[in-house]
Structure 1
Amino acid sequence: MEFRQLECFLAVVEHGGIVRAAAALHLAQPSLTQSIKALEKELGIELFHRIGRGIALTPAGSALVKQARQVLRDADTVRASAAELAGAEVGQLQISAMSGCIYHPLLDLVSAFAKQHPEIPQRITEADSEQQLAEWVREGRVELGFGYLPAPGSSPSHPEPELDITVLGHDELCLVVPVELSAQLDDPIPLSGLPELPAIAVSRGAVARQTVENALRNAGVRTSLGVVTEHRELELPLVSAGLGMAWTTRASAEGSPSVDVAVHSLDPPVELTHGVLRRRGHLAPPAQAFLDLALSSAERND
C-alpha cells in the first residue's frame, strides 16, 4: 500500500467523486480510478459502490476514512520531525476554529506565526459546531482546533477521551438588543430583569447556548425562543432587524460595526471558556510551534 493511494481515496471522499478529486489532485481520471482499484485489490475490499455515474462509500470504505487520515497525518508528522532535525522549515500548519467565534487572539497568533515562520503555509478552516471541530481534530483533518469549551461541572456536549483540551482564556457573554430598547435597560442588566423579547439562539448542543441556558436556569429565569439558527453570524443581524435579543461575546458584538445593536453586560457575569483541542501524542513541528505560541500568549494575558 502506498501513501498516494490513501491520498487518492480521501480526495474522492472529500470532493464527492472522481471528477472533482482528479481535478484537485491534478491527475487524469483514469489514473485516479486505477489507483482506487489497486487499493481495493490490495485490501481485498470494495471501498465504493458505483451508482450510475456517481459513487458512494461502502461500509468498509467508511471505516477506512478515519484510519487513512490518521496514517497520512502520522506520515506528515514523521517527515516534519525529520526535517526539523535536519534544520529545514517544512510542512503545513493545519488548524480549525469555530464558525462565528474566531476570537481576535487567534488572528494575532496567525499573524505572529507567519512572521516567525514565513516558509510554513497556514491552512485555516471553520467548523460549524463544537462537535464538528472535535471530529476534525480526532480524525486528523486538522491538528489543532480552537473553540469554546463546556463550563466546568457541566455535561460536555462531546466527551473526548482521545483528545487533550487546553484552556486558553475566557470571553464575556453580553446581551445584545435592538438599539431603540437600550435606553430602557440597566447596564449591567440583571438576569432577573431581562426584557420581554424572544431569544435568538444557536442550535441546541452548542456550548454558548448551554452556557446561557445554565445561567438562566440558575437565576430562575425563563425566556421564549424566537429564532433558532445554525449560522452564528446571523444572530446580530436578526437582533438589528428587531426580531429579538441574543447572547454573544463582547468581542463579536463590538467587532461588527456594520450591525446596529446595543450591547449590555450581564449581572452576574457570564463567561465562555475558549481553548484548543489536539489529538494525544506527538504533534508535527509547525503545530507544536503554534501551540507553544498560543500558550505563551495566554500566559501573558492571564
Structure 2
Amino acid sequence: MAVRVSPCGWDVSPKCCKAWDAASDDVREWAAALATELLWRLTGKRFGLCEITLRPCRAPCPDSGGAARLAGPRGGVFSPRLEDGRWYNGCGTCVTACSCGPMCEIVLPGPVDSIVRVMQDGVELPADAYRVDGHRTLVRTDGECWPDCQDLSAPPTEPGTLAVTYRQGVPVPPGGIAAASSYACELVKAVCPGQGMGACRLPARVQTISREGVTMSFVDPMDHLERGLTGLPEVDAWVRAVNPDRLAQASRVYSVDLMPARTTTWEAGR
C-alpha cells in the first residue's frame, strides 16, 4: 500500500488565542498544516486516522501439517480438508488457533480503527456480516465467505469485486490535539506580529544580545528541532511523553508469505 506522507485526523482548534481568531483562513490553514505535520513527524508518525480503500486478497491457510499439499497460486497452501461431509483440496476457509471450525478472514494493513464499508459484487454488506479481530483481521460472520479472487480491472461497484474502506491508524489523543493547537497559535503570532495579539513564544534565532550592560542569551530553535522538540514547554512535554526515544516512525512487520492488498492511488475522474 502507499506510504503515508502526511497526517490525518488532527483537528486543530486553538482556544483563547486572539491571533487565531483574527487571522485569515489562509493563515489558519497554513499554521494548522505546519503544526500538525511537525508534531506528527516528531512523534514517530504514530497518530492520526486516515480513511483508505483496499482491494484485498483473502489470507492463505497456514501449513497445518497435513499429508498432502500443493503450492497455491498466491503462495498459500492447498491442503485437503473435510467440511460438512465433503472433501475439499484448496485454500478457502482455515482452522485457526482457538477455533473449533474453519474461519473466513482477510488480513488488512493495520491498525484498523473502524470499518466504513465493505463492498462485495457491487453491494454494500451489512455491518453485522463481519467483524475485526486484533485490529487487522476482517472475519466474515454471516456464514458466507470472502471470494478467492476478484476482477481488479472493474470498479468496486461491479460484480466480481471486493473493496474494503476503513479508518487506519491510532486516534490522536487529546494531549496531541491540545499541543498542535497551542503550536498553531504561536505560528500565527509569528507571521502576524504587531497586532496586539500577545508576544510570540517561539524561540527567535538570536543567541546573544547586549544592551546597556545587560547580556541576554536565547536558544536557537534549530537546536530544539534537532532534539525532536519545538521550544514550547507544553508541546514538548507531550512529545517527550509519547516519543521518549525520538523514533522517526513506528515499527513495521513485513510478511513474505502474504500478498499485499491492492490500493488504488489514482483514477481518472476522481
- Which protein has greater RCO, CA pairs closer than 8 Å, 6+ apart? 2
Greater Cα radius of gyration, structure 1 or 2: 2
Which TM-score applies when normalising by structure 2?
A: 0.21
Which TM-score applies when normalising by structure 1?
A: 0.19
